[in-house]
Every structure is written in C-alpha cells, then in structure tokens.
Amino acid sequence: MTTSCDLLLVVMDSAATTPVESGDLSLALAGAELIDLAAEDCVRLADNRVLPGSRRTGPDGLLDGAVSSMVREAPFETVDEWLWRRGRGLSWRYVDALEADGLLIRPHRHRLLFRGEGRTPADSPVRRAAMERWESGEAVLVRLAHSLGVERERSARPAAPVGDTVHVVVAAVDRALAELADERDKREHRLEDAAADNRQRGY
C-alpha cells in the first residue's frame, strides 16, 4: 500500500489516545502522496516547486487522481500550494476508498478515531503491514505521524534518516499545520468575542 494509506491506518489505530483533526490529516496525506510520487519519479521537486515527471504505471485510483490534477505549466505549484489544493477533503476520500476495499469497518459501538469519524481499521494483511512499517521505525511514516502528534512507543527503534525530498515535504506539512492551527485559534477567538458581545447586549 501507499504511505498515505499506511499513515491513515496508523492514525486511526492511535486515535483513542491521540485524536487528529481531519483537516490536519488531509494535509499530511497530501504530503505522503507527494513523497510517494517523487519516489516513483512521477513528480520532481525543484526550488520548492512540483514538476511533472514520468507516467504512473501502478493501479491506484487516489494517486492517479493526484497525478492527473497536478499543475503542468510553469511556474508550477509550490509544495505548499500542492498541500492546500490536494489536501482539501482528502482524509474523507481515503476513508471512503479504504472502506470500499474492506480495509475499514463500522463497529457496532462508536469509538473515537480521527476526530468525528466512526470507522476503524479491519484486521487485514494491509493493516498488519502498515503496523509493521510503523513499529520498524520507517522514516517517512514516522516523520509524517510525528507532525500530527502521533508518536511511537519509546522502546521502538529510532527512525532512520530521510532524504532531501522528505525534508522539504515534511517541512511544508508542518508549516501548513501551523497555519491551520492559527486559523482555528482566530476563529475560536472570534466566536468567543461574538459570544461576549451578545452577553453584554443581554442575549
């Protein structure tokens, strides 16, 4: 499976202790897609911009969609622009796709997964492979999960170093997550100010 699918499964497995906002997860999934596509030479990163590469050969509807939607004319997208465009609603698309493949199930009892979601990973070879990748300290998966606040057990082996492409993408994910958190804070403050105004007016 792809890094995006593995990341989603790891996040959902850890959500009982570390819930993740769907918007945050969407940005990280878009970053995971970009890293996988760069590893396949389907895209190239140059001066923080995403340039088209070779055609994809493997069947994967979500990654195929990522490639087909990319900007193919200069000056191309920045990595940050890719994350915001591609990441819009991406976590729900992955949830729906994995559920359609039988990799997610709807439990009889509601359990908190990534915030607001009600599906859980099925016991499958795909999930076990994702957990094995996670527990082995695979660098890309660990870095992206860390950006979301999801950490491995302290006894696990340390993550291996990563290359320049991963550094660039993860740094962009961290910037986007910080920007999203700032927007949430501003929205919350606006709501609090509006509520205070209403109380002063007697409402």
- The C-alpha atoms of residue 45 and residue 168 are separated, in whole angstroms, by 9
The domain tally of the chain equals 1
The CA distance from 64 to 46, in Å, is 21
For residue 107, give its domain range.
3-200
pTM value? Answer: 0.85
Q: What is the C-alpha to C-alpha distance for residues 28 and 169, in angstroms, rounded to an integer?
A: 9
The closest alpha carbon to 16, from 152, 148, 135, 114, belongs to 114
- pLDDT per position as a tens digit, 164-183: 899 999 999 999 999 999 98
CA 158 – CA 92 distance, rounded (Å): 31
pLDDT digits (tens, 9 = 90+) for 72-105: 999 999 999 999 999 999 999 999 999 999 999 8
What helix, strand, coil percent values describe the chain, rounded to 5? Answer: 55, 5, 35
pLDDT, tens digit (0-9, with 9 covering 90-100), for 14-44: 877 788 999 999 999 999 999 999 999 999 9
| Helix and strand numbers, DSSP H then E, in the chain | 8, 5
Please spell the DSSP secondary structure of 82-125, one letter per residue. Answer: HHHHHTTTHHHHHHHHHHHTTSEE--SS----STT---EE-S-H
